[in-house]
Amino acid sequence: MKLKNKQPVKTDTKVRGTEKIKEKNRKGSFRRTLKSDEAFPYLCLLPSLIGVLIFFIIPFCVIIYYSMVDNPINREFVFLQNYINIVKNTAFRRAALNTLTFSLSSVPLAVILSLLLAMLLDCKIPFVSQFRTSFLCPMMVPVASVVLIWQVIFHYNGALNDFLANFGVDKIDWLKSTKGQVVIVALFLWKNLGYNMILFLSALNNIPKDTIEVATLEGAGAFYKFFRIKLRYLSPTILFVTVLSLINSFKVFREVYLLTGDYPYDSLYMLQHFMNNTFRNIDYQKLSSAAILMAIVMVAIIGALFIAENKFGEDVEG
């Protein structure tokens, strides 16, 4: 009995193994490409992160360290003693009170007046572009020129006293009296109203027109539409303008310094004066403690503003 010759069966084992290796290589290359694509944005952000670390985070940590040692030479840890000393310091308390008074008066005025101006210009009155340009002009004027103008107006023998003399008002030394903060508030408003007004104009134009039209058709009055509709949509811009004005109120030092010098009248002695004079005396502990306290107060105020805005505008879709 003859056996038939069996032909060898060709298996594709090697072929399948090769395909698996190729598939694995493709997956590996895809994963490497995906990882490189995910890492690319972080590489782009790395220079900025390094800059923030070097110029902000590390110096802030150094300030915290200086605020808790007796001096940079001995470096004896005193914990909160420097903070206790700075709170008891008469000059610091006067500067803090003056800065608080100035901010509480100037910031609300800057927000309210700029909002009113924006609503006025949003009513399509004549010469809108001219009004807008006139309010933005102070942003282009150098600080030195602004200070010179204010000195001419508010000097003891200045233009304002000459004008008031026509009505029998005695001369007032504006920059060396309790009325000094009125001058600085006026300067602050003059410099910042225009920019805030533009922000509010942009926010007013972004309010959905159909919402206003529906409210008008249903008989809603102007006050209802403003307080119940527009104000809710304006809440993010109000928050932004308030925070911006608050920051700018702490930057008014250069104008006050150019007007009055290192040691102005008591009502114009700001926190920046205190810190500038302390820096000149190389008193790092006092300066660092004052800076940390100021930062804590700023964070608390801004945090409270964010919470209030989130509560007030929570039912408004962005």
Q: What is the CATH number of the domain that holds 173?
A: 1.10.3720.10
Q: Are residues 105 and 190 in the same domain?
A: yes
**Quick check: is 1 in a domain?**
no
Mean pLDDT of the chain: 81
**Quick check: is 265 in a domain?**
yes
Q: Are residues 121 and 267 in the same domain?
A: yes
**Quick check: is 267 in a domain?**
yes
In this prediction, residue 316 carries a pLDDT of 54
H/E/C letters for each residue in 50-71?
HHHHHHHHHHHHHHHHHCCECC
Q: Are residues 95 and 217 in the same domain?
A: yes
Point out the domain boundary residue: 34, 66, 98.
66
pLDDT digits (tens, 9 = 90+) for 62-73: 888 988 888 777
Other Cβ atoms less than 10 A from the Cβ of 163: the count is: 11
Q: Are residues 189 and 215 in the same domain?
A: yes
The answer to whether 299 touches 102, Cβ cutoff 8 Å, is no
In this prediction, residue 270 carries a pLDDT of 87
Q: Are residues 95 and 36 in the same domain?
A: no
In this prediction, residue 1 carries a pLDDT of 45
User: For residue 288, what are its two tokens?
Assistant: 């660092």
Q: How far apart are CA 281 and CA 75, in angstroms?
A: 18
pLDDT digits (tens, 9 = 90+) for 239-283: 899 989 988 888 887 888 888 877 788 888 888 888 888 888 888
Q: Are residues 42 and 138 in the same domain?
A: no
pLDDT value at 164 more than 50? yes
Overall average pLDDT of the 187-212 stretch: 87
Q: Are residues 54 and 96 in the same domain?
A: no
pTM for this predicted structure = 0.76
Contacts of 216 (CB under 8 A, 6+ apart): 225
| Residues of the chain above pLDDT 70, percent | 86
Domain encompassing residue 32: 18-66
Q: Are residues 269 and 178 in the same domain?
A: yes
Our count of domains for the chain comes to: 2
**Quick check: is 13 in a domain?**
no
Q: Are residues 192 and 45 in the same domain?
A: no
- Determine the straight-line distance between the first and last CA of the chain, rounded to whole angstroms: 92
**Quick check: is 71 in a domain?**
no
In this prediction, residue 114 carries a pLDDT of 92
Point out the domain boundary residue: 7, 32, 66.
66
pLDDT digits (tens, 9 = 90+) for 222-243: 788 888 888 888 888 998 999 8
**Quick check: is 75 in a domain?**
no
Overall average pLDDT of the 187-209 stretch: 88
Q: Are residues 90 and 37 in the same domain?
A: no
Q: Are residues 166 and 209 in the same domain?
A: yes
Helices (H) and strands (E) in the chain, counts: 15, 0
